[in-house]
C-alpha cells in the first residue's frame, strides 16, 4: 500500500482534504511528501490507524477529535470529546475583549465556561498584562485547558466552578463567556458532528437562554464599576440578550455580528450608579 493508493481509496468515503490530513497524521508525512513521493509505502500500523480514522470520519466523527487537536488563531490546541472544537466565529469575542482590555492596566479577566481554554489562553497570550481566571463545571475540561495553557505558555488561574459559584466575592474588569446557547431539541444538534461534542457545552437543556440568564444576573456582583460583560450567543438571541442586560443594570448594551453578518455576541457595561438609584 502506497501513500497514493491509500489516499485514493479513502477519497471514496470522505472529503479529499480530510483524507489527506488523516493520512499525514497517521504516517507522519507532509503534504510535500504526498505530492513528491506518492509511491512511498505505508507501514502496516500506520495504515491500520488511517483506515480506522477514515471509517470514523465517514460516520461523522469530527476530524479534530480523531487527531486530538485543532487550530485557533494560529495556535494548536489539544481537544477531546470532553470539550467543544474551537470555531473561528469565537474570534469575534477575542477581538472585542482585546479592544476593551487595551485601555486598562493589569486588568483582571474572568472566562466563564472555558472548555479547552481557547478564549482564556488567547487573551493571556495577546494581552500579557491581564490576570486571567478561567472556570468550567467540567473537571475534564479544566484538565484539558490546563494542558493547553502549559503547552502554549499561558499563565492562568483555572478553577472548577458552576459559573460564579466558587468565586466568592472576587471582582473583575472584564467577564467573557461562550456558554451553551442551543435550545434543547434544536435540529442542528443532530448534524455537522455535533452529536460527538459534549452536549452540556452546547445546550442548556431548555430554551437556549438559561445559562445566559444566569451569567447576566450573576455578573454585576463580580464586575468592577464601569466594566464589561461579553458573551457569545445564537444567531437569533441578540434581542433577548440585550433585554436581559438592560434588566440587570447594564448600559451601553450592544450586539455584534461576525464576518457572516450574523448576530454573534452581546455585551454591556455595568453601571453601579444605575443599580443604586434603580
Boundaries of every domain in the chain: 3-59, 83-277
Distance set, CA 90 to CA 96, 162, 174, 230 (Å): 10, 21, 16, 12
**What is the predicted pLDDT for the residue at 130?**
98
Q: In CATH, what number does 83-277 get? A: 3.40.50.150
**What is the predicted pLDDT for the residue at 155?**
98
> Beta strand 263-270 with 223-232: parallel, antiparallel or unpaired?
antiparallel
- pLDDT at residue 1 greater than cutoff 60: yes
* Model pLDDT for residues 224-249, shown as the tens digit of each residue: 999 999 999 999 999 999 999 999 99
Name the pTM for this structure. 0.94
- Of 33-37, 69-73, 140-144, 195-199, which range is least confident? 33-37
Residue 78 phi/psi, 5-degree rounding, is: -75, 140
Q: Decide which of 276 and 95 is more confident.
A: 95
- pLDDT band for 276, please (50, 70, 90 cuts): very low
Q: Which three cell numbers stand for residue 81?
A: 470529546
Distance set, CA 96 to CA 61, 151, 206, 231 (Å): 32, 25, 28, 10
**What is the predicted pLDDT for the residue at 269?**
97
- pLDDT at residue 275 greater than cutoff 90: no
- pLDDT at residue 46 greater than cutoff 80: yes
Amino acid at each position: 500500500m502506497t501513500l497514493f493508493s491509500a489516499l485514493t481509496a479513502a477519497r471514496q468515503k470522505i472529503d479529499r482534504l480530510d483524507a489527506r490530513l488523516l493520512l499525514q497524521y497517521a504516517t507522519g508525512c507532509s503534504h510535500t511528501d504526498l505530492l513528491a513521493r506518492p509511491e512511498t509505502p505505508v507501514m502496516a500500523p500506520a495504515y491500520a490507524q488511517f483506515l480506522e480514522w477514515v471509517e470514523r470520519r465517514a460516520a461523522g466523527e469530527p476530524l479534530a477529535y480523531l487527531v486530538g487537536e485543532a487550530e485557533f488563531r494560529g495556535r494548536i490546541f489539544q481537544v477531546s470529546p470532553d470539550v467543544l472544537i474551537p470555531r473561528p466565529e469565537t474570534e469575534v469575542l477575542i477581538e472585542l475583549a482585546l479592544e476593551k482590555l487595551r485601555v486598562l492596566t493589569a486588568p483582571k479577566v474572568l472566562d466563564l465556561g472555558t472548555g479547552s481554554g481557547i478564549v482564556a489562553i488567547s487573551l493571556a497570550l495577546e494581552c500579557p498584562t491581564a490576570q486571567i481566571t478561567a472556570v468550567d463545571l467540567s473537571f475534564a475540561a479544566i484538565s484539558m485547558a490546563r494542558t493547553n495553557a502549559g503547552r502554549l505558555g499561558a499563565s492562568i488561574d483555572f478553577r472548577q466552578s458552576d459559573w460564579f459559584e466558587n468565586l466568592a466575592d472576587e471582582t473583575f474588569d472584564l467577564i467573557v463567556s461562550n456558554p451553551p446557547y442551543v435550545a434543547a431539541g434544536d435540529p442542528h444538534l443532530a448534524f455537522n458532528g455535533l452529536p460527538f461534542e459534549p452536549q452540556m457545552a452546547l445546550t442548556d437543556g431548555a430554551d437556549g437562554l438559561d445559562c445566559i440568564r444566569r451569567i447576566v444576573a450573576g455578573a454585576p456582583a463580580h464586575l468592577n464599576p464601569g466594566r464589561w460583560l461579553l458573551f457569545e450567543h445564537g444567531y437569533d438571541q441578540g434581542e433577548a440578550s440585550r433585554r436581559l442586560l438592560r434588566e440587570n443594570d447594564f448600559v451601553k448594551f450592544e450586539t455584534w455580528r461576525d464576518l457572516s453578518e450574523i448576530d454573534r455576541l452581546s455585551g454591556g457595561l455595568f453601571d453601579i450608579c444605575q443599580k443604586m438609584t434603580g
